[in-house]
Amino acid sequence: MRVVVLGTAAGGGVPQWNCACRHCSAVRSGIAPPRRQDCVAISADGEGWYLLNASPDLREQLMSATSLSPGPGPRQTPLRGVLLTDGELDHTLGLFQLKEADGLHVWAPEAVRETVLAREVVASYRRWEWHRARESFEVGGLVVTTVAISDKRPKYAAESTLDGPWVVAYHVADPATGGTLVYAPCLAEWPSGFSKLCSEASCVLLDGSFYAPDEMHGRTAGEVDSAAQTAMGHLPMAGVSGSLAMIRETGGQARWLFTHLNNTNPVLDPASAEHAAVLDAGAEIPYDGAELVL
């Protein structure tokens, strides 16, 4: 299985268009590389590719990934489908940029499939196949297992009466190589059985939105306290029940990488103590464009 990490940032990317924080300013000044919003591409054979989420930065991401370049025919593309972990705009707006794709397959939790804004709009351009992300299903020679994470709804679906889960993670296995990937960019808490799943994986792409549970306080235009940050549905790295502690406790053979990094997260600075703590736990902070073979 081939994996291309197309984007590693949380909503808005780094830099955010309306932000002059230390990390966003470092990118604008050329000190740090930019980060596009979270998105991953996977393939069993390097010919047919599937996206995990569809970032608002999708056009730029596809243009930068030579593996997903169109051809040999003038309108041929290796992109076969999209797997959505949730219905948030930061993970679904890229679907609108794929409106020219005929016959695209999209998998999502049932509640997301029924409410995602792109479904009705794209239907007026092309016919797509929308599938419920069942407990286990096959895509392009890969076996996908769905892991329920939370019932956090996107704001546009706040009044929906549909049952969750609204947020899932995916375990992707390549039967030919035995390689496995766990993709969990929105992890509200550490689910039961998640450690076992990760310990047996080849690679885990994990929610790295925040380092501390209160890091947004005082760093944003609106004063976001720890309760409001927790309600966003992202488990922080630090703390006794944070993801770094869980990585140490889980062990196993997995290669741990953090994605969905918010612009407030101090791990974005490779010289920071927080970045060092990530490395000390045996995890990594990949850059956009990182490629894995599992």
Span 47-80, pLDDT tens digits: 999 999 999 999 999 999 999 999 999 889 999 9
Q: Confidence class of residue 218 from pLDDT cuts 50, 70 and 90?
A: low
- Which is more confidently placed, 228 or 277? 277
Q: Confidence class of residue 219 from pLDDT cuts 50, 70 and 90?
A: low
Residue 27's pLDDT is what?
97
Number of independent structural domains in the chain: 1
Q: Confidence class of residue 231 from pLDDT cuts 50, 70 and 90?
A: confident
**Which residue in 79, 80, 77, 83 sits closest to 54, CA to CA?**
83
Asked if residue 192 has pLDDT above 60, the reply is: yes
Structure tokens at 69: 């370049």
Question: Which residues fall within 8 angstroms of residue 192, CB to CB, at 6 or more apart?
Answer: none
The boundaries of the domain holding residue 197 are 2-293
Torsion of CA 185, 64, 292, 202, to 10 degrees: 20
- pLDDT, tens only, 247-269: 999 988 999 999 999 999 999 99
Give ∠ CA 63-202-287 in degrees, rounded to 5. 35
Determine contact, residues 11/90, Cβ cutoff 8 Å.
yes
Task: Kindly state the average pLDDT of the residues 82-94.
Answer: 98
Question: Could you tell me what percent of the chain has a pLDDT over 70?
Answer: 98
Task: Kindly state the average pLDDT of the residues 185-214.
Answer: 95
DSSP character string of 260-283? SB-TT-GGGSTTSHHHHHHHHTTE
Determine the distance from the C-alpha atom of residue 152 to the mean position of all C-alpha atoms in its chain, rounded to a whole number: 16
Q: What is d(CA 130, CA 105) in angstroms, rounded to the nearest whole number?
A: 6
Residue 118's pLDDT is what?
96
Helix count and strand count (H, E) for the chain: 9, 14
- E strand or H helix that includes residue 257: strand 255-259
Question: Which residues fall within 8 angstroms of residue 110, CB to CB, at 6 or more apart?
Answer: 132, 133, 162, 163
Question: Could you tell me what percent of the chain has a pLDDT over 90?
Answer: 90
Mean pLDDT of the chain: 95
Among the residues of the chain, which ranges form H helices? 22-28, 58-64, 89-92, 110-115, 117-123, 194-199, 226-231, 243-250, 273-280
Task: Kindly state the average pLDDT of the residues 106-134.
Answer: 96
Structure tokens at 274: 């927080």
Task: Kindly state the average pLDDT of the residues 218-236.
Answer: 77
Determine contact, residues 109/53, Cβ cutoff 8 Å.
no
Asked if residue 220 has pLDDT above 70, the reply is: no
Task: Kindly state the average pLDDT of the residues 190-196.
Answer: 94
User: What CATH number does the domain containing 42 carry?
Assistant: 3.60.15.10
